[in-house]
Amino acid sequence: MKRLNCKLIVSDFDGTLADSNNNVGEDVIRAIEEYRSLGGIFAVCTGRILPSILPRIRAMGLSGLVAASQGSTIADIATGRIIREAGLSCGDAAEICAALEEFGASVQVYTTYGFYTDIPAGNEFLALYERITGITAAHTDKKLSEFVGDNCVKAAKVASLCFAEDRQRLYDYLLEKFGDRFEITCSASVLVEVSPRGETKGSAVKFLSEYYGIPLEETVAVGDNLNDLAMIEAAGTGIAVGNAEEALKSRADFVTVTNDEGAVKNVIEQFGYSYE
């Protein structure tokens, strides 16, 4: 007989729950279903915005809450109703956009339900990103710094799609410029993101813990990138997948197999329950 160990498992999506082909394996889905049948709660916490993640997790049959936009948006999966939401002021968002423009980087402004970019429509890099996220970018004739300021766009976060070789330099630039005011992180090898101060995946894990009435000591969080660091440190047990950034692995309590080897299934079997 199986006995539930940890009561809440929170997983990143891209690079963790999903494999390198952006698919969630049937064996992983079955493991989640079995864990939930024992009374465990499984939640996804992702950098994706709400309309990007909802179709994916609904297709998996998940219910309850999901944390999107680096944890700053928390919503009910079934209805899409937002439970908790935070964002950047339009002045702050415009300032961040201007700094990216000055640096010569691309600019993406994410709202709760979509995103704007200054990367031209039809760009191959952008088209790939749109296919992965399932969201088509919006464009404007103005610089995004001007557009955001003039229209007081409520941004969940501001980000830059970049080449992997340019990520560290851009990250360092933003950290030096804004590190004392905003959260600066990376959610992929080609993404640097700026979010509201204090709004991290770690704060989302704490919210989920309180919402479900589960002590943090009885939670597990698993991820692959730098934006998952706050999450694995907030949880009682923090796990990095085998394909994770080395900086995340060094701070994790455990390192499991890669996302292509069914990392989340392995985490559930190792930490979710035991046999009596």
Overall pTM > 0.95 = no
Provide mean pLDDT across the span 136-158: 94
Distance CA(275)–CA(198), nearest Å, equals 39
Is 169 in a helix, a strand, or coil? helix
pLDDT in the model for residue 276: 66
Provide mean pLDDT across the span 148-163: 93
Distance CA(64)–CA(84), nearest Å, equals 14
Per-residue pLDDT at 130 exceeds 70: yes
Amino acid symbol at 133:
T
Distance CA(91)–CA(55), nearest Å, equals 32
Per the DSSP assignment, residues forming a β-bridge with 195 are: 183
Per-residue pLDDT at 101 exceeds 70: yes
pLDDT in the model for residue 3: 76
Amino acid symbol at 145:
S
